[in-house]
Structure 1
Amino acid sequence: MNGQYASILIALPLISAFFVPIVKAASKKAIMPFVVLITAAQTGVAAWVFNEVYNTGKPIIVIAGAWKPPVGIDLYIGQFAALFIFITAAVSFLLSVYNLKTIKMEPLDKYAMLFLLLMLGATGMIATGDIFNLFVFMEITSITAYALTAYNKTGEAAEASMKYMILGGIGSSFFLIGVAIIYGSLGTLNMAQIAQLAGSMNATAAQAGLALVIFGLAVEAELFPLNAWAPDAYQAAPHAVTVMFSAFVVKAGLYAAARLLYLMQSVGSWHSVLKLVVIMATLTVLVAEFSALRQRNVKRMIAYSSISQVGFIALALALGTQAGVDAGVFHMVNHAIVKTLLFIAVGYVAVQLGSAEMENFRGLGKRMPVTAFSITIGSIAVIGIPMFNVFWSKLRIILATVDAGYTWAAALVLIASVVEAVYYLRLLHVIWFEGGGERIMESTALGVIMLFLVALIIVIGVYPNYVWNLAQKAGADIFNVSQYIKNVPLMGVGA
């Protein structure tokens, strides 16, 4: 199949979102099945792209309008993008099935449109090869996320959406000013050409531009101090949207930050920006873990835990080493799987029992055993117990951090991990050793989804090498900037 067909990954969710009103006019009951169909098709195309890129070892580059970059706009689907576009599509498909059981509030058509556009925005952020179009896709992601956060129409949802909007607006302003500085210095917006010319940039301008871009992306990447919106949004948003935030929206922000960091590694002030990100990442882990310890709402607690894991990833990506980037990408994959499981399971409890307050989890092991078992496996995995997937990526991050000379950061995040174990073990005690009650009939479809994710966690924990090899290839796609430049057919360069 022609590589240009990879553009379907952008076109399909975009066009489908605007077909939702037509589907609604035909049959309102068909809206959510339509979303299932579109996300299934997106997953199929993403699987083909993933297979093509990893089998050939070459990126798929889609050039818009036949104009070579930097004049034309390009999509660059290398090994990182192929992997995470597939994860984005697959998680969206699982959530579209989850929506059939959990989304009841009107208007369903608006929710479906925003759901598809959020998937589009994250996919575009990962695939674009142009820094301004990165901004455009970031805005699509942000605006749809603001609306989805407020979808439940409660006071808490409106407040959470407003916080997100204010911080998102600040982040977008930082990002755009940073892009303006880079463009003013280099005269290009194409990422490959920015990497090619970065060494000629004034060190102060490069430091300011890159720092502003990183601060702008820190909102979507949930990095301290621009992540204050996240716990409220995670708690107030529909459960499927919470999963999307954790599983791939934040990953798109982290990838964009890492891509731009390494594209500009030839500038003189590069290491000072790396140190800034290391500090932000370490503070993100510490603040999030100690905040999670105080929570009585389980969904909010897991939100803080998710933010902490994002800090782990950002720390690894900012080490400036191949080992760090590889470990960070590995943790991205593991985090996406585990947090998808936890948020789906906790959200299902909230739907069945009315809320995600800790009291509703008493005796859950007797009342909803499949859901309780899924939460247990997810919790044990997040803590970093051996033979579960997160153990391997956490271990590699700690080793890479020590090797890079940041022993203090490794020590602090290890202390934070002990705090994480405390509140997850507290939750498991409530589930299995407190209270009781009558058995609740659990959804077969959601049970299959949860057990599938449980199986992934265990299989990767026992046999981590396959996913680790994928992560190494994806990490090299970010770290090996010279190869990235060679791959992009810049006008006047190559054939």
Structure 2
Amino acid sequence: MNVQYASLLIAIPLITAFFVPLMKGLGEKAIKTYVLIITAIQAGIATWVFEEVYTTGKPIIVMAGGWRPPVGIDLYIGPFAALFVLIVALVSFLMAVFNFRAVKVEPIDKYAMLFLLLMLGATGMIATGDIFNLFVFMEITAITAYALTAYNKTGEAAEASLKYMVLGGIGSSFFLIGVALIYGATGTLNMAQIAQLAGNINPTVAQVALALVIFGLAVEAELFPLNAWAPDAYQAAPHPVTAMFSAFVVKAGIYALARILYLMSAVGTWKNILHLLIAMATLTVIVAEFSALRQRNVKRMIAYSSVSQVGLIGLAFALGTQAGVDAGVFQMINHAIIKVLLFLGVGYVAVQLGGAEIENFRGLGKRMPLTALGVTVGSMSAVGIPLFNIFWSKLRIILATVDAGYAWAAALVLGASVVEAVYYFRLVHAIWFTGEGERLRESAPLVAIMLLLIAIIVAIGIYPNYAWSLSQKAGNDIFNVAQYIKNVPLMGVGA
């Protein structure tokens, strides 16, 4: 198949999103089925792209209009993008199934349109090879996320959306100014050419530009101090959207941060930026874990846990080593899996029992045993218990942090993990050892999804080699900047 068909990853969600309003008269079920079909097609194309990239060992590069970069806009789908575009598509498909149970508030056509555009925005952020188009896709992601946060039309949802919008606007401004500085210093917006010219940029200008880009992306990447929106948005948004936020929206933001950070690694003041990011990431972990400990709403508690896990990923990327980048990618994969499981399970409990307060989880093992099993496995994995997937990625991040000379950061992260264990074990205790209640009928499709995710978590926990191999290839795609430059057919380079 022609590799140019990879552009359908952008075209399909963009085009089909604008057909949704035409289906309004067909009813809620028809619209949700339409979204399910589109996400299934997207998952099929993403699977083909993943297989093509990992089988051939070569990236897929799509050049708009046939123009070679930097004159033309390009999509660069290397091992990292191929892997995470697949994750975006698969998670979107699974949440499209969850939509049938979890989303009842009208207008469903607007929700479906925003749902597809959120998938588009995250896919574009990961696949683009142009820093300005990264900003465009980031804005698509952010604006749809603002609207979806407010979708339930409650006071809390409106407040959460407004907070997200204000911080997002600040972040976008920082990012755009940083991009302008990079463009002014290099005369290009193409990522490969920026990497090629990075060593010639004035170190002070580069340092300021990178700091602005990091603070700009810290909103989507949920890094302290620009992550205050996350717990409110996660709690207020529709349950499927919350899972999408955690599984891939934040991943797209942290990927963009890592990609730009390493593209500029030739800059003389690069180490100063790494130190800034290490401080932000470590503070993110500590503040989020202690905040989670105080929560009574389980969805909000898991939101803080998600922020903490992302801080751990940010720490890995900030080490400036191949081992750190590989471990960070491994954690991104594992985190996406467990947070889809947790937010699916918790969201389903909230739909069935009328809320996500911890009181509703008392006796859940007796009332909804399979859902309770899903939440329990997700909780145990999040803590980092052996035989579950997160154990391996957390261990590799800790080892990479110590090897890089930041033993103090590793110690703080390990201390924060003890706090994480306290609130997750409290939840598990409430599920299995307190409360009573009659057995409730559980949704077969949702239980099937949870059992599939449990199987993946345990499989990686027992045999992590395959996932680790994927992580190394994807990590090398970010860390090996020289190979990235070589792969992109820049006009006048290698011609």
TM-score normalised to structure 2 length: 1.00
Deviation string 1:362-414 (CA, Å, 9 cap, x unpaired) is: 10000000000111100011100011100000000000000000000000000
2 CA distance for matches of 1:369 and 1:126? 37
Deviation string 1:159-186 (CA, Å, 9 cap, x unpaired) is: 0000000000000000000001011111
1 CA distance for matches of 2:241 and 2:94? 12
2 CA distance for matches of 1:267 and 1:102? 48
2 CA distance for matches of 1:233 and 1:463? 35
2 CA distance for matches of 1:288 and 1:299? 14
Deviation string 1:122-178 (CA, Å, 9 cap, x unpaired) is: 000000000000000000000000000000000000000000000000000000000
1 CA distance for matches of 2:213 and 2:354? 41
Unpaired segments of 5 or more residues in structure 2?
none
Q: Does the CA-based 8 Å contact 2:29-2:100 persist in structure 1? A: no
Deviation string 1:332-386 (CA, Å, 9 cap, x unpaired) is: 0000000000000000000001000011111000000000011110001110001
Alignment of 1:447-458 (within 5 A): 447-458=447-458
2 CA distance for matches of 1:269 and 1:245? 33
Please name the residue that 1:304 is paired with.
Answer: 304
Code of the residue aligned with 2:287 in structure 1: it is: V
1 CA distance for matches of 2:369 and 2:28? 34
Q: How many residues align?
A: 495
SS at match of 1:62: strand
The change in CA–CA distance for 1:12 and 1:330 in structure 2 (over 3 A counts) is same
Alignment of 1:45-60 (within 5 A): 45-60=45-60
Code of the residue aligned with 2:215 in structure 1: it is: F
Please name the residue that 1:343 is paired with.
Answer: 343
SS at match of 2:294: coil
Please name the residue that 2:356 is paired with.
Answer: 356
SS at match of 1:241: helix
Please name the residue that 1:76 is paired with.
Answer: 76
Deviation string 1:262-314 (CA, Å, 9 cap, x unpaired) is: 00000000000011000000000000000000000000000000000000000
Is 1:270 matched with 2:286? no
SS at match of 1:211: helix
Displacement, 1:22?
1.8
Please name the residue that 1:436 is paired with.
Answer: 436
Unpaired segments of 5 or more residues in structure 1?
none
Please name the residue that 2:237 is paired with.
Answer: 237
Identity %: 77
Please name the residue that 2:473 is paired with.
Answer: 473
2 CA distance for matches of 1:186 and 1:244? 35
2 CA distance for matches of 1:308 and 1:357? 21
SS at match of 1:405: coil
Displacement, 1:37?
0.1
1 CA distance for matches of 2:64 and 2:214? 27
Q: Does the CA-based 8 Å contact 2:313-2:329 persist in structure 1? A: yes
Is 1:487 matched with 2:452? no
2 CA distance for matches of 1:123 and 1:133? 12
Alignment of 1:61-460 (within 5 A): 61-460=61-460
Displacement, 1:494?
1.9
Displacement, 1:101?
1.1
Code of the residue aligned with 1:475 in structure 2: it is: G
Deviation string 1:223-264 (CA, Å, 9 cap, x unpaired) is: 000000000000000000100000000000000000000000
SS at match of 2:75: strand
SS at match of 1:70: coil
2 CA distance for matches of 1:267 and 1:437? 62
Code of the residue aligned with 1:452 in structure 2: it is: L
Code of the residue aligned with 2:455 in structure 1: it is: A
Please name the residue that 2:20 is paired with.
Answer: 20
SS at match of 1:244: helix
SS at match of 1:431: helix
Code of the residue aligned with 2:38 in structure 1: it is: I
Displacement, 1:26?
4.2
1 CA distance for matches of 2:48 and 2:476? 21
- Cα RMSD after superposing both structures: 0.6
2 CA distance for matches of 1:114 and 1:29? 17
1 CA distance for matches of 2:353 and 2:101? 14
Displacement, 1:28?
4.3
SS at match of 2:440: coil
SS at match of 1:153: coil
Displacement, 1:102?
1.0
Code of the residue aligned with 1:418 in structure 2: it is: V
Code of the residue aligned with 1:165 in structure 2: it is: M
SS at match of 2:61: strand
2 CA distance for matches of 1:198 and 1:349? 50
Displacement, 1:25?
3.5
2 CA distance for matches of 1:168 and 1:95? 24
Q: Does the CA-based 8 Å contact 2:64-2:72 persist in structure 1? A: yes
Code of the residue aligned with 1:435 in structure 2: it is: G
Deviation string 1:197-229 (CA, Å, 9 cap, x unpaired) is: 000000000000011011100000000000000
